[in-house]
Amino acid sequence: MYVTETQIRIHYALTDQMGVVYHGHYAEFYEIGRAEAMRHLGFTYKDIEAMGIIMPVVDIHSRFLRPAKYDDLITVKTTLSELPAHHKVVFHSEIFNEQGALLNTGDVTLYLMEAKNMKRCEMPAVLKEKLKKYFTSSI
């Protein structure tokens, strides 16, 4: 299991007239969480695109428990529960406010695809290698 955390400060543009963060912005928070999870491995999503691979989102499921508000410093906890075997990668995100209350959860499924022909592909070996150590079972 690979787990990382990153923080985001809520700016005014993200709020709506209910006085809370507009629900459509959570997909961006998950995206930021995934990008920082990769960077933490010493690898960026930008590097992946430079290798000719893109990772389009194919499925998102979000649950909204409590609203995030203006100026909140939220924490996005991003979990990769399984080492991707094929073209499919699933991230689980949990978003907390500064008081530690769980605001939102998101399950995001992405596909690994070759940009040149839009064919599904496997994770680049260099990235898989970096991830492996987080998924070695102890028994």
Catalytically active residues, by annotation: 16
Q: In the set 11, 86, 119, 120, which binds its own copies (CB under 8 A)?
A: 11
22 contributes a contact to its own copies by CB under 8 A: yes
Residue 32: name the closest of 97, 106, 99 by CA.
106
57 contributes a contact to its own copies by CB under 8 A: yes
With respect to its own copies, which residue has the nearer C-beta, 3 or 32?
32
User: CB under 8 A: which stretch of 14-22, 85-93, 95-103, 124-132 binds its own copies?
Assistant: 14-22
24 contributes a contact to its own copies by CB under 8 A: yes
52 contributes a contact to its own copies by CB under 8 A: no
CA distances from 99 to 10, 73, 86, 95, 96 (A): 15, 10, 38, 12, 8
Size of the site for its own copies (CB under 8 A): 35
Nearest distance from C-beta of residue 128 to its own copies, angstroms: 21
- CA 81 to centroid of chain Cα atoms: 12
Largest CA distance in the chain: 53
Q: In the set 52, 70, 85, 102, which binds its own copies (CB under 8 A)?
A: 70
DSSP-based three-state secondary structure for 134: coil
Distance CA 109, CA 27 (A): 12
